[in-house]
Chain A
Amino acid sequence: MANAKRTDSTSPGWATRYRNELGLVLAVIAVIGVTLLFNRDYLMQPGRNFQDIVQQTALLGIFSLGAAIVIISGGIDLSSGSVIVFSGSTCGLVMLLLAPVGDNGQPDATDVGIGVVAIAIGAAILVGLIVGTFHTWLITGVKLPPFVATLASLVGLRSLAKILNQAVTAELGNQVTKVRAEDLHFLKLREWWVAPVVFLVLGILCWFLMNRTVIGRHLYALGGNEDAARLSGIRTDLLKWLAYSIGAVTASIAGILYTAKITAADPSTMAVGYELSAIAASVVGGCSLQGGIGSIPGVMLGVLFLRIVMDAVAKIVQAGSDDYQGLIVGFLVVLAVAFNEMRRQNSGTRKEMFPGVLGFCTVPILALLMGIIVFVFSKQISFGLATGIVALLGLLAWKLWEVFRIKRTV
């Protein structure tokens, strides 16, 4: 049968191949639509909102691309947030060190010249390359698991940035932790369109690398089955170096742009927890943490979706959106992965949602969670309480139905 069918009739159509990306586009549109129902701000100030969302998306997106390539190649990079801080600090310190001395005997870094800015940016990117190389050595040479190697950088680099900032600024006469970056050329990077352009260019480069080059195919192979890749004559160590270097360098680039945006590099507050947002965006964009699966357009849309939802919540509740950020990211990651899992298992085995005693204990936990979420969004105790009780009864009914169904089949 199959022999007769030589033509490629099984080649899936683009709708199935890009199902994940299509879904995300629809989700983005849906979220914008819902936001419009509750809040007119998008219509009142379309320009400012657009610039805001696009810049925020791009800043998160730049290092999410790197995180995604590491994940696709079967690793994990937990260090992005700290690399952002460290490279941002490096950038600021280099400008301070090379700045002319002002009237008060301190370096005056408000106009260091375009050459110095270029050197500072180069130094920051070099930091990324160094960190990536170091990670690869820890992983392939010392044989540390990627989680441990990059965890060490996550905690270590932020601390090192603080100490280094203090030590260098002390040498210059005025010890601080937060390094200001106020050069007028450097601050041109604050323009709203800079980050999106960088994001787009990097996105196209990464897409080309992953989809159109031998190296990209080998990275997917490495993530899918490392032993088989090695035994196929693929230099897996070199590929890992590339993946972790891309991961760290994209974080450095983001670090430069963040530093410009807030005119300073502050190790105490800057980019805390961003590595997890990047990993979350990759996962929402369709990457599998087991490696070998994921697409660059998917990740870019994943970032956009994550950002749009955060913005929508900020608009609707009209409060500090930062406080809700973690809740939203957590919720979306669980939802996205559960959705992918369900699609993968599809009709095969009918599984219970709340199996056994554990399932029984989960029912009140979920009800409590729903109640609290409704309470914090509505700011009304009674709403939260009502939701909790309704959820408890509903889920309990579900659990009982499952128990009953199993009793019947046995």
Chain B
Amino acid sequence: MNANETPMISIQSVTKRYPGVVALEDVSFDIMPGELHSICGENGAGKSTLMKILSGVIPDYEGQLLIRGTPVRFRNTRSAEAAGVSIIHQELNLVEQLSASANVFLGRELRSGLGLLDQRRMNAETRKLLQELECDVDPQSPAGSLRVGDQQLLEIAKALSLNTDILIMDEPTSALTESEVERLYRVIERLRQRGVTILYISHKMDEVFRLSDRITVLRDGRHVETLNRADTSPREITHLMVGREIDAMNLQDAREIGDVVLEVRQLSRPWPGHARAWRLRDISFKLRRGEILGIAGLMGAGRTELLECLFGASTEACQGQVYLEDRPVRFRHPSDAKNAGIAMVTEDRKRLGIFAQMTVRENISMCNLQRTGVAGILRAGQERTMVQDSIQRLGVKTAGMEAAITSLSGGNQQKTIIGRWLLTNPKVLLLDDPTRGVDVGAKAELYRLMDTLCREGISIILTSSELPELLTVSDRILVLAEGRLTAEFSRQEATEQKIMEAATATAAHTD
């Protein structure tokens, strides 16, 4: 890398304040032309704020931004795109009802001589772009019908058609299968050959170290360090990200596993109108008292669908038998499951978990209000005591129980939702990817909490998209692949390698 070269992007003392919070503070670093520059940091470190500034989503900030040496200030994504900057968001930004080619040319549709849409040329161009990206889909098929990996390539195709030379990718592999990830790596390689500068945001150290030229670490809105990949190690980067040593978790010793609490036999969940026909097929397993049962699987393997079945929250009727403490049960509504002693903490906290308009108190007491008063009348005093106990027990960091739930960090929001369910005294706790969007410190606290709960006799079924997490906390791990149970490992047997093999072992199991 030539030090005299003009940086592609120069970020100079960028600061972004929100009321009460500084999201970015005096961040400065350069990105050189043609490099793949990874940005690492915990949740809340300011990565996405910075990317939003770079891509024009956030127009007001302090400090300066130079692209190819000229100062710029993007007022919207369009002006950023005009300057050659595109972003692939983690949550993809496609209009699902429109065709692939319509999405690529959205907002700058090609027109024929009469000013009408030139569908043919758009399709042809889209096909060419997609072929270049090893993506074999029909430009006329609706974007929503494509697989996540193909949708992502569609977004990249769109960026390419904009003549993008700076591409920001926000956790691009989080929803991809192994083979899709490999394909993405090849696409990235091809983009680099074209001279595209790539900003790559990821939590996954193996990816970062496989792809990057340089790595920048952000922590609490500040720039910590920018390092050459060759001069550093994953260990050093994680250390810089956290700013403290993560104390080695030791949760395995002597947790007592009791009798079978929940037994599932031949559970199937239909998938009307889908080629696979079954979201889940013939799943059988047992859960014992005081046990943490981990469920591994790629996106779309059926982890959430399984928990929904057990909780009575699925839209289709599930087939098969479920026994809770040896009694057959069939839940038609989450309230049945709740009354029977099953609790579920949902995957998408913002959409399915919290009540954003409500206070911490109202969020915690939500499932257990009947017990606070007589004849459906609230007793404010009892509610407060209950909530206060819960806040203390789980160590929720909040300014008070009347604080707005949205003022809490992700990890603490998650704790209030767990607290909400613990108040119902569940026998079985279903946790659907509970540490998603939770920072490293809070994750460790959640692991410790799970351990304590199990020691108190609760059984937990845990799904997670992160294998190390499952390996840390689970007593046993089940692996799902395309709706089928493909393996079961005890803690001693399980390794990341074995789990990944089972999770991708779908072809062998078609019958």
A7 at interface, CB cutoff 8 A: yes
B335 at interface, CB cutoff 8 A: yes
Interface residues of A in 259-309 (CB under 8 A from B): 292-293
The smallest C-beta distance from B113 to any residue of chain A, in angstroms, reads 27
Binds B, one of A48-56, A124-132, A343-351: A343-351
A217: contacting residue among B362, B400, B402, CB under 8 A: B362
In angstroms, Cα B75 to Cα A190, docked, is 61
A9 at interface, CB cutoff 8 A: yes
A2/B367 in contact, CB under 8 A: no
A213 and B356 in contact, given A10-B399, A235-B333 (Cβ under 8 angstroms) = no
Interface residues of B in 356-403 (CB under 8 A from A): 356-358, 362, 366-367, 369-370, 373, 376-378, 388, 392, 395, 397-403
A410 at interface, CB cutoff 8 A: yes
**For this complex, into which size category does the number of interface residues on chain A fall?**
35 or more
Residues 331-362 of chain B, each 1 if its beta carbon lies under 8 Å from chain A, else 0? 00111011100001010000111111110001
A-B pairs with CB below 8 Å: how many? Answer: 105
A214/B376 in contact, CB under 8 A: yes
In angstroms, Cα B286 to Cα A71, docked, is 45
A10/B402 in contact, CB under 8 A: yes
A214/B313 in contact, CB under 8 A: no
A234 at interface, CB cutoff 8 A: yes
A235/B376 in contact, CB under 8 A: no
A8 at interface, CB cutoff 8 A: yes
Interface residues of B in 63-85 (CB under 8 A from A): 73, 75
B334/A5 in contact, CB under 8 A: no
B395: contacting residue among A3, A9, A347, CB under 8 A: A3
Interface residues of A in 220-240 (CB under 8 A from B): 220-221, 224-225, 227-235
A409 at interface, CB cutoff 8 A: yes
Report the count of interface residues on B (CB-CB < 8 A).
43
B468 at interface, CB cutoff 8 A: no
Interfacial chain A residues near B370, Cβ < 8 Å: 214
In angstroms, Cα B335 to Cα A18, docked, is 34
B420 at interface, CB cutoff 8 A: yes
In angstroms, Cα B353 to Cα A296, docked, is 26
In angstroms, Cα B373 to Cα A189, docked, is 38
B352/A227 in contact, CB under 8 A: yes
Q: Which residue of B lies closest to A348 (CB)?
A: B19
Secondary structure class of chain A's binding surface, majority of residues: loop
The smallest C-beta distance from A232 to any residue of chain B, in angstroms, reads 5
Interfacial chain B residues near A347, Cβ < 8 Å: 19
Q: Which residue of B lies closest to A223 (CB)?
A: B357
The smallest C-beta distance from A225 to any residue of chain B, in angstroms, reads 5
Interfacial chain A residues near B355, Cβ < 8 Å: 220-221, 224-225, 228-229, 292
In angstroms, Cα B358 to Cα A216, docked, is 13
In angstroms, Cα B357 to Cα A235, docked, is 20
B333/A232 in contact, CB under 8 A: no
A233/B337 in contact, CB under 8 A: yes
B335: contacting residue among A7, A215, A234, CB under 8 A: A234
A11 at interface, CB cutoff 8 A: yes
B378: contacting residue among A12, A217, A349, A410, CB under 8 A: A217
Interfacial chain B residues near A224, Cβ < 8 Å: 355-358
A232: contacting residue among B339, B376, B420, CB under 8 A: B420
In angstroms, Cα B349 to Cα A232, docked, is 12
A233/B335 in contact, CB under 8 A: yes
The smallest C-beta distance from A211 to any residue of chain B, in angstroms, reads 8
Interfacial chain B residues near A410, Cβ < 8 Å: 73, 75
In angstroms, Cα B333 to Cα A387, docked, is 61
In angstroms, Cα B505 to Cα A245, docked, is 53
In angstroms, Cα B377 to Cα A215, docked, is 9
A5/B335 in contact, CB under 8 A: no
B19/A346 in contact, CB under 8 A: yes
B60 at interface, CB cutoff 8 A: yes
B338: contacting residue among A5, A8, A216, A233, CB under 8 A: A233
In angstroms, Cα B363 to Cα A224, docked, is 11
B334: contacting residue among A217, A231, A350, CB under 8 A: A231
The smallest C-beta distance from B220 to any residue of chain A, in angstroms, reads 15
Q: Which residue of B lies closest to A350 (CB)?
A: B60
Q: Which residue of A lies closest to B421 (CB)?
A: A232
In angstroms, Cα B388 to Cα A318, docked, is 59
A8: contacting residue among B19, B344, B401, B420, CB under 8 A: B401
A212: contacting residue among B357, B367, B377, CB under 8 A: B377
Interface residues of A in 335-391 (CB under 8 A from B): 346-350
A214/B369 in contact, CB under 8 A: yes
A228/B367 in contact, CB under 8 A: no
Interface residues of A in 3-31 (CB under 8 A from B): 3, 5-12
In angstroms, Cα B403 to Cα A227, docked, is 23
Interfacial chain A residues near B362, Cβ < 8 Å: 217, 220-221
In angstroms, Cα B356 to Cα A349, docked, is 21
In angstroms, Cα B160 to Cα A244, docked, is 51
Interfacial chain A residues near B377, Cβ < 8 Å: 212-214
The smallest C-beta distance from A352 to any residue of chain B, in angstroms, reads 11
A230 and B313 in contact, given A5-B400, A10-B403, A214-B370 (Cβ under 8 angstroms) = yes
23 sampled A-B residue pairs with Cβ under 8 A = A2-B397, A3-B397, A5-B400, A6-B388, A10-B400, A11-B402, A212-B377, A213-B377, A214-B373, A214-B378, A217-B366, A217-B369, A220-B357, A220-B362, A225-B354, A230-B333, A232-B334, A233-B337, A233-B367, A347-B19, A348-B19, A350-B60, A409-B73
List the 8 closest pairs (A to B, CB-CB), nearest first.
A233-B338, A10-B400, A233-B335, A11-B402, A214-B369, A8-B400, A10-B399, A224-B355
B interface vs A, CB < 8 Å?
18-19, 60, 73, 75, 311, 313, 333-335, 337-339, 344, 346, 351-358, 362, 366-367, 369-370, 373, 376-378, 388, 392, 395, 397-403, 420
Sample of 16 further A-B pairs with CB below 8 A, known A221-B362, A410-B75: A10-B400, A11-B402, A212-B377, A214-B370, A220-B357, A221-B358, A225-B354, A230-B334, A231-B352, A232-B334, A232-B338, A232-B366, A232-B420, A233-B335, A233-B367, A347-B19
